[in-house]
Structure 1
Amino acid sequence: MMLERTTFPPGMYLTQYQWAKKMMAVNADAQGTEMWCNHYHQRTAIYFTEAEVHPATAAEIAMVFAPAREKRKEYNQRYSQRRIAREKEIEEQAKLFGEARATEKILSLIAGKLPTALSSSKSRSVTEKMLQNKAIIFDTETTGLSDTDELLQISIIDYNGTVLMDTLVRPYFHSSWVEAQRINGISPEDVEKAPYLHEILPELCAIFAKAKVCIGYNVKFDLAYINRAGVSTDHLNIIDVMLEFSSYYAEKNQQTKPRRHKLTACADHFGFKWSGDAHNALHDAQATLFCYQSIRNGKE
Protein backbone atom coordinates (compact mmCIF):
# COMPACT_ATOMS: atom_id res chain seq x y z
CA MET A 1 0.00 0.00 0.00
CA MET A 2 1.42 3.36 -1.04
CA LEU A 3 2.12 5.79 1.79
CA GLU A 4 1.01 9.42 2.08
CA ARG A 5 3.72 12.05 2.37
CA THR A 6 1.63 13.98 4.89
CA THR A 7 1.86 11.12 7.41
CA PHE A 8 5.55 11.95 7.95
CA PRO A 9 7.02 14.97 9.79
CA PRO A 10 7.43 18.10 7.62
CA GLY A 11 10.82 18.20 5.96
CA MET A 12 11.55 14.50 6.37
CA TYR A 13 10.63 13.72 2.76
CA LEU A 14 10.85 16.40 0.06
CA THR A 15 10.56 16.40 -3.71
CA GLN A 16 13.41 17.41 -5.98
CA TYR A 17 11.75 20.83 -6.41
CA GLN A 18 11.36 21.31 -2.66
CA TRP A 19 15.01 20.40 -2.05
CA ALA A 20 16.05 22.84 -4.80
CA LYS A 21 14.32 25.63 -2.88
CA LYS A 22 16.68 24.76 -0.02
CA MET A 23 19.64 24.94 -2.45
CA MET A 24 20.06 21.16 -2.39
CA ALA A 25 20.24 18.78 -5.34
CA VAL A 26 19.28 15.11 -5.54
CA ASN A 27 22.18 12.66 -5.79
CA ALA A 28 22.59 10.97 -9.15
CA ASP A 29 22.20 7.51 -7.61
CA ALA A 30 19.23 8.42 -5.38
CA GLN A 31 16.17 6.19 -5.82
CA GLY A 32 13.66 8.17 -3.78
CA THR A 33 10.29 6.92 -2.54
CA GLU A 34 7.03 7.25 -4.44
CA MET A 35 4.16 8.41 -2.20
CA TRP A 36 0.75 10.02 -2.45
CA CYS A 37 1.16 13.82 -2.23
CA ASN A 38 -1.80 14.18 0.15
CA HIS A 39 -5.00 12.52 1.32
CA TYR A 40 -6.80 13.29 -1.96
CA HIS A 41 -4.82 10.46 -3.64
CA GLN A 42 -4.96 12.26 -6.97
CA ARG A 43 -1.25 12.44 -7.65
CA THR A 44 1.98 10.79 -6.55
CA ALA A 45 5.51 12.13 -6.42
CA ILE A 46 9.03 10.87 -5.78
CA TYR A 47 10.32 12.06 -2.41
CA PHE A 48 13.90 12.10 -1.13
CA THR A 49 15.45 12.20 2.32
CA GLU A 50 18.32 14.38 3.50
CA ALA A 51 20.70 11.47 2.94
CA GLU A 52 19.89 11.49 -0.78
CA VAL A 53 20.80 15.11 -1.53
CA HIS A 54 23.86 17.36 -1.62
CA PRO A 55 24.57 21.12 -1.78
CA ALA A 56 23.54 22.22 -5.26
CA THR A 57 25.42 24.19 -7.87
CA ALA A 58 23.78 27.10 -9.67
CA ALA A 59 23.45 24.96 -12.80
CA GLU A 60 21.65 22.19 -10.90
CA ILE A 61 19.21 24.68 -9.38
CA ALA A 62 18.51 26.28 -12.76
CA MET A 63 17.80 22.87 -14.29
CA VAL A 64 15.15 22.09 -11.66
CA PHE A 65 13.38 25.46 -11.90
CA ALA A 66 13.45 25.76 -15.70
CA PRO A 67 10.20 23.78 -16.40
CA ALA A 68 8.17 25.89 -13.93
CA ARG A 69 9.46 29.11 -15.47
CA GLU A 70 8.52 27.88 -18.93
CA LYS A 71 5.00 26.98 -17.80
CA ARG A 72 4.57 30.40 -16.21
CA LYS A 73 5.78 32.08 -19.40
CA GLU A 74 3.39 29.98 -21.48
CA TYR A 75 0.47 30.86 -19.20
CA ASN A 76 1.24 34.60 -19.47
CA GLN A 77 1.31 34.34 -23.25
CA ARG A 78 -2.02 32.49 -23.35
CA TYR A 79 -3.60 34.95 -20.94
CA SER A 80 -2.49 37.85 -23.14
CA GLN A 81 -3.89 36.14 -26.22
CA ARG A 82 -7.27 35.53 -24.53
CA ARG A 83 -7.43 39.15 -23.42
CA ILE A 84 -6.78 40.37 -26.97
CA ALA A 85 -9.40 37.94 -28.31
CA ARG A 86 -11.92 39.17 -25.75
CA GLU A 87 -11.28 42.80 -26.74
CA LYS A 88 -11.90 41.91 -30.38
CA GLU A 89 -15.09 40.08 -29.42
CA ILE A 90 -16.37 43.19 -27.63
CA GLU A 91 -15.60 45.31 -30.70
CA GLU A 92 -17.58 42.88 -32.87
CA GLN A 93 -20.49 42.99 -30.42
CA ALA A 94 -20.50 46.76 -30.66
CA LYS A 95 -20.82 46.57 -34.43
CA LEU A 96 -23.48 43.85 -34.35
CA PHE A 97 -25.78 45.09 -31.62
CA GLY A 98 -25.13 48.81 -31.73
CA GLU A 99 -22.90 51.00 -29.65
CA ALA A 100 -25.46 51.69 -26.92
CA ARG A 101 -26.30 48.05 -26.24
CA ALA A 102 -22.66 46.95 -26.30
CA THR A 103 -21.65 49.78 -23.98
CA GLU A 104 -24.34 48.79 -21.49
CA LYS A 105 -23.13 45.19 -21.46
CA ILE A 106 -19.49 46.18 -21.10
CA LEU A 107 -20.28 48.49 -18.21
CA SER A 108 -22.24 45.75 -16.46
CA LEU A 109 -19.31 43.37 -16.86
CA ILE A 110 -16.89 45.92 -15.48
CA ALA A 111 -19.16 46.66 -12.54
CA GLY A 112 -19.49 42.95 -11.84
CA LYS A 113 -23.25 43.08 -11.99
CA LEU A 114 -23.95 40.50 -14.68
CA PRO A 115 -24.19 37.39 -12.42
CA THR A 116 -26.55 39.19 -10.03
CA ALA A 117 -28.77 40.39 -12.85
CA LEU A 118 -28.99 36.91 -14.29
CA SER A 119 -29.78 35.45 -10.89
CA SER A 120 -32.74 37.75 -10.39
CA SER A 121 -34.20 37.49 -13.89
CA LYS A 122 -33.29 34.30 -15.75
CA SER A 123 -33.52 31.93 -12.81
CA ARG A 124 -37.32 32.27 -12.75
CA SER A 125 -37.59 30.65 -16.18
CA VAL A 126 -35.49 27.60 -15.27
CA THR A 127 -37.50 24.39 -15.68
CA GLU A 128 -37.10 21.13 -13.79
CA LYS A 129 -36.06 19.41 -17.01
CA MET A 130 -33.37 22.01 -17.59
CA LEU A 131 -32.09 21.53 -14.05
CA GLN A 132 -31.98 17.75 -14.39
CA ASN A 133 -30.21 17.74 -17.75
CA LYS A 134 -28.25 20.98 -18.06
CA ALA A 135 -27.49 22.33 -14.57
CA ILE A 136 -24.09 22.37 -12.89
CA ILE A 137 -23.25 23.31 -9.31
CA PHE A 138 -19.91 25.04 -9.04
CA ASP A 139 -17.56 26.03 -6.20
CA THR A 140 -13.91 26.97 -5.77
CA GLU A 141 -11.26 27.50 -3.13
CA THR A 142 -8.68 30.25 -3.67
CA THR A 143 -5.53 31.77 -2.24
CA GLY A 144 -7.52 34.82 -1.11
CA LEU A 145 -10.39 37.14 -1.95
CA SER A 146 -8.87 39.66 -4.38
CA ASP A 147 -8.78 39.53 -8.17
CA THR A 148 -5.00 38.96 -7.98
CA ASP A 149 -5.47 35.71 -6.04
CA GLU A 150 -5.51 32.29 -7.70
CA LEU A 151 -7.52 29.10 -7.72
CA LEU A 152 -6.58 26.19 -5.45
CA GLN A 153 -9.55 23.86 -6.03
CA ILE A 154 -12.40 23.58 -8.52
CA SER A 155 -15.40 21.29 -7.99
CA ILE A 156 -18.42 20.82 -10.25
CA ILE A 157 -21.35 18.45 -9.77
CA ASP A 158 -24.59 17.99 -11.69
CA TYR A 159 -28.13 18.32 -10.35
CA ASN A 160 -28.11 14.69 -9.22
CA GLY A 161 -24.88 15.15 -7.28
CA THR A 162 -22.63 13.35 -9.75
CA VAL A 163 -19.09 14.72 -9.66
CA LEU A 164 -18.08 16.21 -13.03
CA MET A 165 -14.82 17.75 -11.83
CA ASP A 166 -13.02 17.83 -8.49
CA THR A 167 -9.42 18.84 -8.67
CA LEU A 168 -6.81 20.81 -6.82
CA VAL A 169 -5.14 23.54 -8.87
CA ARG A 170 -1.53 24.61 -8.65
CA PRO A 171 -1.19 28.41 -8.59
CA TYR A 172 1.31 30.11 -10.87
CA PHE A 173 2.41 33.01 -8.73
CA HIS A 174 1.51 32.29 -5.10
CA SER A 175 3.83 30.16 -2.97
CA SER A 176 1.91 30.60 0.30
CA TRP A 177 -1.55 31.73 1.43
CA VAL A 178 -1.53 31.59 5.22
CA GLU A 179 -4.92 33.22 5.88
CA ALA A 180 -6.74 31.22 3.20
CA GLN A 181 -5.08 27.98 4.35
CA ARG A 182 -6.51 28.48 7.84
CA ILE A 183 -9.97 28.41 6.27
CA ASN A 184 -9.76 25.88 3.43
CA GLY A 185 -6.97 23.69 4.81
CA ILE A 186 -5.17 23.54 1.45
CA SER A 187 -1.40 23.87 1.87
CA PRO A 188 1.28 24.62 -0.73
CA GLU A 189 2.40 20.99 -0.42
CA ASP A 190 -1.13 19.80 -1.27
CA VAL A 191 -1.06 21.51 -4.67
CA GLU A 192 2.60 21.05 -5.51
CA LYS A 193 1.83 18.27 -8.00
CA ALA A 194 -1.67 19.45 -8.93
CA PRO A 195 -2.33 20.57 -12.51
CA TYR A 196 -1.98 24.19 -13.49
CA LEU A 197 -5.17 25.93 -14.58
CA HIS A 198 -4.25 25.84 -18.26
CA GLU A 199 -3.91 22.05 -18.06
CA ILE A 200 -7.54 21.56 -17.00
CA LEU A 201 -8.95 24.49 -18.97
CA PRO A 202 -10.15 22.42 -21.99
CA GLU A 203 -12.16 20.09 -19.72
CA LEU A 204 -13.48 23.04 -17.69
CA CYS A 205 -14.58 24.91 -20.83
CA ALA A 206 -16.31 21.79 -22.15
CA ILE A 207 -18.33 21.34 -18.95
CA PHE A 208 -19.50 24.95 -18.94
CA ALA A 209 -20.23 24.92 -22.68
CA LYS A 210 -22.64 22.00 -22.29
CA ALA A 211 -24.47 23.55 -19.33
CA LYS A 212 -27.41 25.96 -19.45
CA VAL A 213 -27.71 26.62 -15.72
CA CYS A 214 -24.96 27.35 -13.19
CA ILE A 215 -25.79 27.23 -9.48
CA GLY A 216 -23.46 28.45 -6.75
CA TYR A 217 -23.24 30.21 -3.40
CA ASN A 218 -22.01 33.77 -3.88
CA VAL A 219 -21.34 32.42 -7.34
CA LYS A 220 -20.28 35.80 -8.72
CA PHE A 221 -17.02 35.40 -6.77
CA ASP A 222 -16.26 31.93 -8.19
CA LEU A 223 -17.20 32.78 -11.77
CA ALA A 224 -14.86 35.77 -11.80
CA TYR A 225 -11.82 33.50 -11.51
CA ILE A 226 -12.72 31.26 -14.43
CA ASN A 227 -13.95 34.20 -16.53
CA ARG A 228 -10.50 35.76 -16.23
CA ALA A 229 -9.05 32.47 -17.46
CA GLY A 230 -11.21 32.63 -20.58
CA VAL A 231 -14.13 30.34 -19.66
CA SER A 232 -17.32 31.66 -21.25
CA THR A 233 -20.40 31.85 -18.99
CA ASP A 234 -22.49 34.49 -20.80
CA HIS A 235 -24.86 31.82 -22.13
CA LEU A 236 -25.78 30.49 -18.68
CA ASN A 237 -28.73 31.06 -16.39
CA ILE A 238 -26.94 31.97 -13.16
CA ILE A 239 -28.57 31.07 -9.84
CA ASP A 240 -26.97 32.46 -6.69
CA VAL A 241 -28.28 30.40 -3.77
CA MET A 242 -26.95 33.02 -1.34
CA LEU A 243 -29.40 35.55 -2.79
CA GLU A 244 -32.17 32.96 -3.01
CA PHE A 245 -31.74 32.04 0.66
CA SER A 246 -31.50 35.67 1.69
CA SER A 247 -34.96 36.36 0.23
CA TYR A 248 -36.33 33.04 1.46
CA TYR A 249 -35.14 33.58 5.03
CA ALA A 250 -36.35 37.17 5.17
CA GLU A 251 -39.82 36.13 4.01
CA LYS A 252 -40.04 33.24 6.46
CA ASN A 253 -38.95 35.44 9.35
CA GLN A 254 -40.86 38.55 8.26
CA GLN A 255 -37.71 40.61 7.89
CA THR A 256 -38.13 43.91 6.05
CA LYS A 257 -34.55 43.91 4.79
CA PRO A 258 -32.97 40.63 3.61
CA ARG A 259 -29.42 39.99 4.76
CA ARG A 260 -26.81 37.60 3.47
CA HIS A 261 -25.91 34.39 5.28
CA LYS A 262 -22.89 32.11 5.13
CA LEU A 263 -23.26 28.78 3.36
CA THR A 264 -22.81 26.93 6.66
CA ALA A 265 -25.77 28.84 8.15
CA CYS A 266 -27.91 28.07 5.11
CA ALA A 267 -26.91 24.38 5.21
CA ASP A 268 -27.62 24.16 8.95
CA HIS A 269 -31.04 25.76 8.43
CA PHE A 270 -32.09 22.96 6.08
CA GLY A 271 -30.36 20.17 8.02
CA PHE A 272 -27.64 19.33 5.51
CA LYS A 273 -25.34 16.49 6.64
CA TRP A 274 -21.77 17.37 5.70
CA SER A 275 -19.68 14.54 4.23
CA GLY A 276 -16.53 16.43 5.21
CA ASP A 277 -15.33 19.86 6.28
CA ALA A 278 -16.88 23.03 4.94
CA HIS A 279 -14.64 25.23 2.76
CA ASN A 280 -13.77 22.23 0.65
CA ALA A 281 -15.05 23.04 -2.86
CA LEU A 282 -16.71 19.64 -3.38
CA HIS A 283 -18.42 19.62 0.01
CA ASP A 284 -19.55 23.22 -0.49
CA ALA A 285 -20.98 22.38 -3.92
CA GLN A 286 -22.90 19.47 -2.40
CA ALA A 287 -24.24 21.73 0.36
CA THR A 288 -25.22 24.38 -2.20
CA LEU A 289 -27.16 21.83 -4.25
CA PHE A 290 -28.99 20.56 -1.15
CA CYS A 291 -29.89 24.10 -0.09
CA TYR A 292 -31.14 25.10 -3.53
CA GLN A 293 -33.28 21.97 -3.86
CA SER A 294 -34.66 22.62 -0.36
CA ILE A 295 -35.62 26.17 -1.30
CA ARG A 296 -37.10 25.08 -4.62
CA ASN A 297 -39.13 22.32 -2.95
CA GLY A 298 -40.39 24.66 -0.24
CA LYS A 299 -38.66 22.86 2.63
CA GLU A 300 -38.96 24.66 5.98
Structure 2
Amino acid sequence: MREIVFDTETTGLSFAGGDRMVEIGCVELVNRVETGRTFHAYYHPERDMPAEAERVHGLSATFLAKHPVFAAAVADLLDFIGDAPLIAHNAGFDFSFLNGELERCGQPLVCMSRMVDTLQIARSRHPGAKHTLDALCNRYGIDRSHRVLHGALLDAQLLAQVYVELTGGRQIGLGLVSDAPRVVVVETVAPVVTKVRPLRVFSPSPAELAAHAAFVKGVKDPLWGPGASG
Protein backbone atom coordinates (compact mmCIF):
# COMPACT_ATOMS: atom_id res chain seq x y z
CA MET A 1 0.00 0.00 0.00
CA ARG A 2 1.30 3.46 -0.94
CA GLU A 3 1.09 6.22 1.68
CA ILE A 4 2.43 9.77 1.87
CA VAL A 5 3.73 11.29 5.09
CA PHE A 6 3.80 15.08 4.87
CA ASP A 7 4.37 18.26 6.83
CA THR A 8 3.83 21.94 6.11
CA GLU A 9 5.25 25.25 7.26
CA THR A 10 3.07 28.35 7.22
CA THR A 11 2.96 32.04 7.99
CA GLY A 12 0.71 31.38 10.97
CA LEU A 13 -2.02 29.25 12.48
CA SER A 14 -5.12 30.04 10.40
CA PHE A 15 -5.59 29.85 6.66
CA ALA A 16 -9.07 31.35 7.08
CA GLY A 17 -7.43 34.22 8.95
CA GLY A 18 -5.13 35.06 6.05
CA ASP A 19 -2.14 32.81 6.68
CA ARG A 20 -0.54 30.85 3.84
CA MET A 21 1.46 27.69 3.31
CA VAL A 22 5.11 28.40 2.50
CA GLU A 23 6.69 24.92 2.48
CA ILE A 24 5.63 21.30 2.09
CA GLY A 25 7.64 18.11 2.44
CA CYS A 26 6.41 14.63 1.51
CA VAL A 27 7.86 11.14 2.04
CA GLU A 28 6.61 8.10 0.14
CA LEU A 29 5.98 4.83 1.96
CA VAL A 30 5.06 1.53 0.35
CA ASN A 31 3.95 -1.15 2.80
CA ARG A 32 5.22 1.10 5.61
CA VAL A 33 8.74 1.20 4.17
CA GLU A 34 10.36 4.40 2.88
CA THR A 35 11.04 4.10 -0.84
CA GLY A 36 13.50 7.00 -0.98
CA ARG A 37 11.11 9.12 -3.06
CA THR A 38 10.35 12.53 -1.58
CA PHE A 39 8.77 15.80 -2.62
CA HIS A 40 9.81 19.21 -1.30
CA ALA A 41 8.79 22.72 -2.32
CA TYR A 42 8.80 26.31 -1.07
CA TYR A 43 6.04 28.75 -2.05
CA HIS A 44 5.85 32.52 -2.23
CA PRO A 45 3.08 33.38 0.27
CA GLU A 46 2.14 36.66 -1.44
CA ARG A 47 2.17 38.35 1.94
CA ASP A 48 4.59 39.25 4.75
CA MET A 49 6.21 36.75 7.12
CA PRO A 50 5.39 37.39 10.79
CA ALA A 51 8.47 37.42 13.00
CA GLU A 52 7.11 34.74 15.33
CA ALA A 53 6.58 32.33 12.41
CA GLU A 54 10.05 33.03 11.01
CA ARG A 55 11.56 32.17 14.40
CA VAL A 56 9.95 28.71 14.15
CA HIS A 57 11.03 27.72 10.62
CA GLY A 58 13.60 30.32 9.62
CA LEU A 59 11.93 31.16 6.29
CA SER A 60 12.03 34.85 5.52
CA ALA A 61 9.87 36.79 3.07
CA THR A 62 13.04 37.64 1.12
CA PHE A 63 13.95 33.96 0.74
CA LEU A 64 10.42 32.92 -0.25
CA ALA A 65 10.09 35.72 -2.80
CA LYS A 66 12.44 33.75 -5.07
CA HIS A 67 10.03 30.79 -5.23
CA PRO A 68 6.79 30.28 -7.19
CA VAL A 69 3.34 30.89 -5.80
CA PHE A 70 1.40 27.72 -4.93
CA ALA A 71 -0.93 27.92 -7.95
CA ALA A 72 2.02 27.95 -10.35
CA ALA A 73 3.59 24.79 -8.93
CA VAL A 74 0.60 22.80 -7.66
CA ALA A 75 0.68 20.24 -10.50
CA ASP A 76 3.96 18.71 -9.30
CA LEU A 77 2.59 18.27 -5.78
CA LEU A 78 -0.65 16.68 -6.96
CA ASP A 79 1.26 14.33 -9.24
CA PHE A 80 3.42 13.16 -6.33
CA ILE A 81 0.68 12.57 -3.76
CA GLY A 82 -1.71 10.93 -6.23
CA ASP A 83 -4.63 9.29 -4.45
CA ALA A 84 -2.62 7.89 -1.53
CA PRO A 85 -3.61 8.32 2.13
CA LEU A 86 -1.93 11.42 3.60
CA ILE A 87 -0.34 11.14 7.04
CA ALA A 88 0.48 14.16 9.20
CA HIS A 89 0.92 15.04 12.86
CA ASN A 90 -2.07 17.07 14.02
CA ALA A 91 -3.28 16.45 10.49
CA GLY A 92 -6.31 18.74 10.69
CA PHE A 93 -3.94 21.72 10.71
CA ASP A 94 -1.96 20.60 7.67
CA PHE A 95 -5.10 19.59 5.78
CA SER A 96 -6.66 22.99 6.41
CA PHE A 97 -3.73 24.70 4.71
CA LEU A 98 -3.36 22.15 1.91
CA ASN A 99 -7.05 22.28 1.03
CA GLY A 100 -7.12 26.03 1.55
CA GLU A 101 -4.39 26.49 -1.05
CA LEU A 102 -6.04 24.01 -3.42
CA GLU A 103 -9.40 25.78 -3.17
CA ARG A 104 -7.78 29.15 -3.64
CA CYS A 105 -6.35 28.10 -7.01
CA GLY A 106 -9.44 26.21 -8.18
CA GLN A 107 -8.16 22.67 -7.64
CA PRO A 108 -10.26 19.81 -6.19
CA LEU A 109 -9.85 19.39 -2.44
CA VAL A 110 -8.20 16.36 -0.87
CA CYS A 111 -10.92 14.17 0.63
CA MET A 112 -10.77 14.09 4.40
CA SER A 113 -11.20 10.31 4.32
CA ARG A 114 -7.56 10.18 3.15
CA MET A 115 -6.36 11.87 6.35
CA VAL A 116 -4.34 9.86 8.88
CA ASP A 117 -3.49 11.75 12.06
CA THR A 118 -0.46 10.43 13.95
CA LEU A 119 -1.31 12.70 16.89
CA GLN A 120 -4.57 10.79 17.42
CA ILE A 121 -2.76 7.47 17.02
CA ALA A 122 -0.14 8.52 19.58
CA ARG A 123 -2.80 9.63 22.07
CA SER A 124 -4.49 6.25 21.73
CA ARG A 125 -1.23 4.28 22.04
CA HIS A 126 0.31 6.35 24.84
CA PRO A 127 -2.41 8.05 26.90
CA GLY A 128 -1.13 10.64 29.34
CA ALA A 129 2.29 10.93 27.67
CA LYS A 130 3.71 13.80 25.62
CA HIS A 131 2.77 13.53 21.96
CA THR A 132 4.90 16.14 20.23
CA LEU A 133 7.07 14.97 17.35
CA ASP A 134 10.16 15.53 19.50
CA ALA A 135 8.69 13.49 22.38
CA LEU A 136 7.75 10.62 20.07
CA CYS A 137 11.21 10.60 18.51
CA ASN A 138 12.66 10.32 22.02
CA ARG A 139 10.24 7.50 22.92
CA TYR A 140 11.19 5.44 19.87
CA GLY A 141 14.90 6.25 19.81
CA ILE A 142 14.75 8.21 16.54
CA ASP A 143 17.71 10.54 16.04
CA ARG A 144 16.56 14.16 15.74
CA SER A 145 19.86 15.82 16.62
CA HIS A 146 19.93 17.56 13.22
CA ARG A 147 16.54 19.21 13.83
CA VAL A 148 17.41 22.76 14.86
CA LEU A 149 14.49 24.57 13.20
CA HIS A 150 11.21 23.19 11.91
CA GLY A 151 11.53 22.11 8.28
CA ALA A 152 8.76 20.42 6.32
CA LEU A 153 10.82 17.69 4.65
CA LEU A 154 12.94 16.93 7.71
CA ASP A 155 9.85 16.76 9.93
CA ALA A 156 8.10 14.50 7.39
CA GLN A 157 11.10 12.17 7.38
CA LEU A 158 11.10 12.00 11.19
CA LEU A 159 7.34 11.52 11.23
CA ALA A 160 7.59 8.66 8.73
CA GLN A 161 9.80 6.78 11.20
CA VAL A 162 7.45 7.62 14.08
CA TYR A 163 4.43 6.45 12.06
CA VAL A 164 6.03 3.09 11.35
CA GLU A 165 6.71 2.63 15.07
CA LEU A 166 3.20 3.73 16.04
CA THR A 167 1.68 1.20 13.67
CA GLY A 168 3.67 -1.86 14.62
CA GLY A 169 7.37 -1.22 14.21
CA ARG A 170 9.81 -1.85 11.42
CA GLN A 171 8.95 -5.55 11.14
CA ILE A 172 5.63 -4.54 9.54
CA GLY A 173 7.58 -4.04 6.32
CA LEU A 174 8.41 -7.73 6.12
CA GLY A 175 5.28 -8.50 4.18
CA LEU A 176 4.28 -12.01 3.23
CA VAL A 177 2.58 -10.88 0.03
CA SER A 178 4.62 -9.74 -2.92
CA ASP A 179 4.01 -8.92 -6.55
CA ALA A 180 7.19 -10.78 -7.44
CA PRO A 181 6.95 -14.42 -8.56
CA ARG A 182 7.07 -16.83 -5.68
CA VAL A 183 10.10 -19.09 -5.50
CA VAL A 184 9.69 -22.27 -3.49
CA VAL A 185 12.90 -23.91 -2.35
CA VAL A 186 12.63 -27.63 -1.64
CA GLU A 187 15.47 -29.15 0.31
CA THR A 188 16.28 -32.79 -0.41
CA VAL A 189 17.55 -34.58 2.67
CA ALA A 190 18.97 -38.08 2.56
CA PRO A 191 16.95 -40.57 4.62
CA VAL A 192 18.33 -41.39 8.02
CA VAL A 193 18.91 -45.11 8.54
CA THR A 194 18.47 -46.23 12.13
CA LYS A 195 20.09 -49.49 13.19
CA VAL A 196 18.07 -51.39 15.80
CA ARG A 197 20.04 -53.49 18.24
CA PRO A 198 18.69 -56.98 19.12
CA LEU A 199 17.06 -57.28 22.53
CA ARG A 200 19.48 -58.36 25.22
CA VAL A 201 18.18 -60.50 28.12
CA PHE A 202 19.92 -60.31 31.50
CA SER A 203 19.12 -63.32 33.78
CA PRO A 204 20.26 -63.59 37.44
CA SER A 205 22.77 -66.32 38.25
CA PRO A 206 21.93 -69.16 40.76
CA ALA A 207 24.12 -67.43 43.35
CA GLU A 208 22.23 -64.14 42.91
CA LEU A 209 18.88 -65.93 43.27
CA ALA A 210 20.06 -67.66 46.47
CA ALA A 211 21.29 -64.38 47.96
CA HIS A 212 17.98 -62.65 47.16
CA ALA A 213 15.96 -65.51 48.78
CA ALA A 214 18.05 -65.30 51.93
CA PHE A 215 17.56 -61.55 52.09
CA VAL A 216 13.77 -61.81 51.71
CA LYS A 217 13.58 -64.53 54.38
CA GLY A 218 15.22 -62.18 56.83
CA VAL A 219 12.67 -59.38 56.37
CA LYS A 220 10.35 -59.01 59.39
CA ASP A 221 6.64 -58.49 58.76
CA PRO A 222 6.91 -58.35 54.94
CA LEU A 223 4.17 -56.58 53.00
CA TRP A 224 4.13 -59.19 50.25
CA GLY A 225 5.30 -62.67 49.52
CA PRO A 226 5.35 -65.70 51.87
CA GLY A 227 4.65 -64.75 55.48
CA ALA A 228 3.09 -61.37 54.59
CA SER A 229 0.52 -60.17 57.11
CA GLY A 230 -1.68 -58.91 54.16
Which interval holds the TM-score relative to the shorter structure? 0.5 to 0.7
Q: Is the 8 A contact 1:212 1:236 kept in 2?
A: no
Classify 1:273/1:249 alpha carbon distance in 2 versus 1 (closer, same or farther; 3 Å): same
Letter in 2 for 1:213: P
How far does residue 161 in structure 1 lie from its aligned partner after superposition?
5.3
In the alignment, is residue 246 of structure 1 matched against residue 114 of structure 2? no
More helix by share: 1
> Does structure 1 conserve the Cα–Cα contact (< 8 Å) formed by 2:57 and 2:150?
yes
1:150 shift after superposition = 0.6
Matched residue, 1:285: 156
| Aligned pairs for 1:6-25 within 5 A | none
What is the Cα deviation at residue 236 of structure 1? 4.9
SS in 2 for 1:162: strand
Pairing 1:1-300 to 2, within 5 Å after superposition: 130=1, 134-147=2-15, 148-159=18-29, 160=34, 162-172=36-46, 174-208=47-81, 210-230=82-102, 231-234=108-111, 236-250=113-127, 255=128, 261-274=131-144, 275-298=146-169
> CA–CA distance in 1 between the matches of 2:36 and 2:113?
20
Which structure has the higher relative contact order (CA within 8 Å, separation 6+)?
A: 2
Identity %: 26
Distance 1:291 1:278, change over 3 A: farther
> How many Å apart are 1:144 and its aligned residue?
0.5
- Paired amino acid for 2:5: I
Give 1:205 deviation, angstroms: 2.1
RMSD over equivalenced CA pairs, Å? 2.0
Q: CA deviation at 1:215?
A: 0.8
- The residue type equivalent to 2:165 in the other structure is S
Change beyond 3 A, Cα 1:276–1:222: same
* Runs of 4+ residues deviating >6 angstroms: none
Gaps of 5+ in 2: 103-107, 171-230
Q: Work out which of the two has the higher radius of gyration on C-alpha atoms and give 1 or 2.
A: 2
- Aligned residue type for 2:100: R
Q: Deviations over 1:56-102 (max 9, x none)?
A: xxxxxxxxxxxxxxxxxxxxxxxxxxxxxxxxxxxxxxxxxxxxxxx
Q: What is the number of equivalent residue pairs in this alignment?
A: 158
Q: Normalization by structure 2: what TM-score?
A: 0.63
Alpha-carbon distance in 2 for matches of 1:278, 1:270: 21
CA apart distance, 1:136? 0.5
Which 5+ residue runs of structure 1 have no aligned equivalent? 1-129
Residue 141 of structure 1, CA deviation: 0.3
